[in-house]
Chains A and B, each alone.
Chain A
Amino acid sequence: MYNRMPKVNLIIDGKQIVAEKGKILLEVARENGISIPSLCHDSRLKPFGSCRMCVVEIEGMRGAVQSCGIKVSEGMVVKTNTDMIIGLRRTALELLLTEHCGDCIAPCQVACPATIDIQGFIAHIANGQVLEAAKLIREKLPFPASIGRVCPRFCETACRRNLMEDPISICFLKRYAGDEDILNEENYESTVKPDTGKRVAVIGGGPAGLAAAYYLALNGHRVTIFDSAPELGGMMKYGIPEYRLPKAILNKEIEAITDLCENVFCNKALGKDFTIKQLKLMGFDSVFVGIGSWLDQSLRCPGENLKGVYSGIDFLGKVAMNKPVEIGKKVVVVGGGNTAMDATRTAIRMGADEVTIVYRRSRNEMPASSIEVDQAEEEGVKLQLLSNPVGFVESNGKVTAVKCVRMELGEPDSSGRRRPIPIEGSEFDIPVDSVITATGQKLDTASLVGNPELALDKWKNIAADPATLQTNIEWLFSGGDCVTGPATAVEASAAGRTAAISINQYLSGEAVVAEKKLFNCSRGTLEEMDPAEFEAREKISRTHMPTIGPAERKGNFKEFELGFTKEMAEKEASRCLSCGCMDCFDCRLREYATELGVNADHLGVGEKRFPITDNGPYIISDSNKCVLCGNCIRMCQEVQGVGILGFVNRGSNTVVMPGANSENLCKSCGQCVAICPTGALTFRSTQPKPGPFKVNKVDSVCPNCSIGCKLDLNMVGERVDSITSPICNDTVNQGDLCNKGSLTYNAVQSSNRLLKPMLNNNGKLEESSWTDAFNKCTSLLKGIDGLSIAISPTMTNEENIYASKLGQLAFGTSDIFSTVPVATNRFALDSQNNEKVTFNGMMNSDLIIAVGNDFSQKYPIAAHKFKSAAEKNAALLLISSNVTPLHTSAKASLKITDKKLISLFETFIGFVLENKLNDEKVSGKYPQLIEALAKKLPGDYYEAIQSFFVKPEKIVEFIRLYLKAENPIIVVDGDAVSPELLELITALAFITGKSGTSTKGVMTLYPKGNTQGQLDMGIQVDTRDYQSIVAKIKSGKIKGLLVFGTEEELAPELLQDGVKTILITPFLPKKQQFDIVLPSATFAETNGSYTNVEGRIQPLKAGFSPLGGKNNLQIISDLAKASGYSMDVPTEAQAYSEVISKLFNK
Chain B
Amino acid sequence: MSKDINEMKDTFSTENTRVSVGLASCSIAAGAQKVYNAFETALEGIPAELDFSGCMGMCYNEPLVEVTSKDSPRFIYGKITPDRVDRIIKEHVQGGHPIKEWLVYAEGMKTADSDFIDKQQRIILKNCGVINPERIDSYLSVDGYKAIEKAIKTMTPEQVIEEIKDSGLRGRGGGGFPTGMKWSFARKAPGNVKYVVCNADEGDPGAFMDRSVLESNPHSIIEGMLIAGYATGAQEGFIYIRAEYPLALKRLNIAIKEANKKNYLGTNLFGSDFNFKLSIREGAGAFVCGEETALMMSVEGKRGMPKIRPPYPTESGLFTKPTFINNVETLANVAYIIYNGAGAFNKYGTETSKGTKVFALAGSINRGGLIEVPMGITINEIVYDIANGLSSGLPLKAVQTGGPSGGCIPASLSDTAVDYDSLKKIGAIMGSGGMLIMDESTCMVDVAKFFLNFTQEESCGKCTFCRIGTKQMLKILKRITNGEGKEGDIELLEDLAVKITTGSLCGLGQTAPNPVLTTIKYFREEYEAHINEKRCPALKCKALIEYEISEKCIGCGRCSKQCPVNAISGERKQQFSIDKSKCIRCGLCVTVCKLNAIDVVTGKRGV
Contacts and interface: CB of A to CB of B under 8 A. Distances in A.
Interface in B483-536: 495-496, 499, 502-505
Contacts of B503: 52, 55, 64, 88, 91-92
B462 A652 contact: no
A651 B505 contact: no
B361 interface: no
Nearest to B455: A651
A95 B286 CA distance: 24
B468 interface: yes
A50 B499 contact: no
B582 interface: no
Contacts, number: 94
B505 A49 contact: yes
Given A49-B308, A53-B464, A88-B503, 17 more contacts: A49-B307, A50-B464, A63-B502, A68-B308, A91-B496, A92-B503, A95-B472, A96-B464, A96-B468, A98-B472, A627-B464, A628-B461, A628-B467, A650-B457, A651-B456, A652-B456, A654-B462
A50 B505 contact: yes
A38 to B, nearest CB: 12
10 contacts: A49-B308, A50-B463, A52-B463, A52-B505, A64-B503, A66-B505, A88-B502, A627-B464, A647-B303, A650-B286
B552 interface: no
Given A47-B308, A69-B309, A654 B461 contact: yes
Q: Which interface class (under 10, 10 to 19, 20 to 34, 35 or more) fits B?
A: 20 to 34
A652 B456 CA distance: 8
Contact of A88 (B303, B307, B456, B499): B499
Interface string A273-294: 0000000000000000000000
A55 B465 CA distance: 12
Contacts of A650: 286, 457-461
B475 to A, nearest CB: 9
Interface of B: 286, 303, 305, 307-310, 456-465, 467-469, 471-472, 495-496, 499, 502-505
Nearest to B495: A91
B493 to A, nearest CB: 12
Contacts of A53: 464
Question: Among B309, B464, B471, which residue has the most Cβ atoms of chain A within 10 A?
Answer: B464
A-B CB proximity, top 7 nearest: A654-B461, A49-B308, A69-B308, A95-B468, A651-B459, A652-B471, A52-B464
Contact of A95 (B309, B465, B505): B465
A99 B468 contact: yes
A68 B310 CA distance: 11
A431 interface: no
Interface of A: 47-53, 55, 63-64, 66, 68-71, 84, 87-88, 91-92, 95-96, 98-99, 603, 627-628, 630, 646-647, 649-654
B310 A69 contact: yes
Contacts of B472: 95, 98, 603
A651 B465 contact: no
Contacts of B461: 628, 647, 649-654
B464 A95 contact: yes
Contacts of B307: 49
B464 A66 contact: no
B502 to A, nearest CB: 5
Contacts of A652: 456, 459, 461, 467-468, 471
Contacts of A654: 460-462, 467
Given A650-B460, A651-B458, A48 B468 contact: no
Contacts of B464: 50-53, 92, 95-96, 627
Contacts of A98: 468, 471-472
Given A91-B503, A647-B303, A651-B460, A52 B465 contact: yes
Contacts of B471: 98, 651-652
A64 B308 CA distance: 13
A73 to B, nearest CB: 11
A48 B308 CA distance: 7
Nearest to A92: B464
Contacts of B465: 52, 91-92, 95
B509 to A, nearest CB: 9
Nearest to B456: A651
A646 B504 CA distance: 22
Contacts of A628: 461-462, 467
B110 to A, nearest CB: 50
Contacts of A55: 503
Nearest to A629: B464
A521 to B, nearest CB: 15
Nearest to A646: B303
Contacts of A66: 308, 505
A50 B464 CA distance: 6
B499 A91 contact: yes
Contacts of B499: 87-88, 91-92
Contacts of B456: 651-652
Nearest to A66: B308
B25 to A, nearest CB: 25
A647 B307 CA distance: 15
A84 B502 contact: yes
Nearest to B468: A95
A1109 to B, nearest CB: 54
Contacts of A649: 461
Nearest to B474: A652
Contacts of A64: 502-503
A71 B308 CA distance: 12
A630 B308 contact: no
Nearest to A51: B464
A429 B457 CA distance: 76
B472 to A, nearest CB: 6
Contacts of B496: 91
A96 to B, nearest CB: 6
A931 B467 CA distance: 71
B293 to A, nearest CB: 11
Nearest to B457: A651
Nearest to B305: A647
A611 B309 CA distance: 36
Contacts of B462: 49-50, 628, 630, 654
B498 to A, nearest CB: 9
Contacts of B457: 650-651
A49 B293 CA distance: 13
A87 B471 CA distance: 19
Contacts of B469: 91, 95
A96 B310 CA distance: 25
Nearest to A627: B464
Contacts of A71: 310
Most B CB within 10 A of own CB, among A50, A84, A630, A649: A50
A78 B69 CA distance: 70
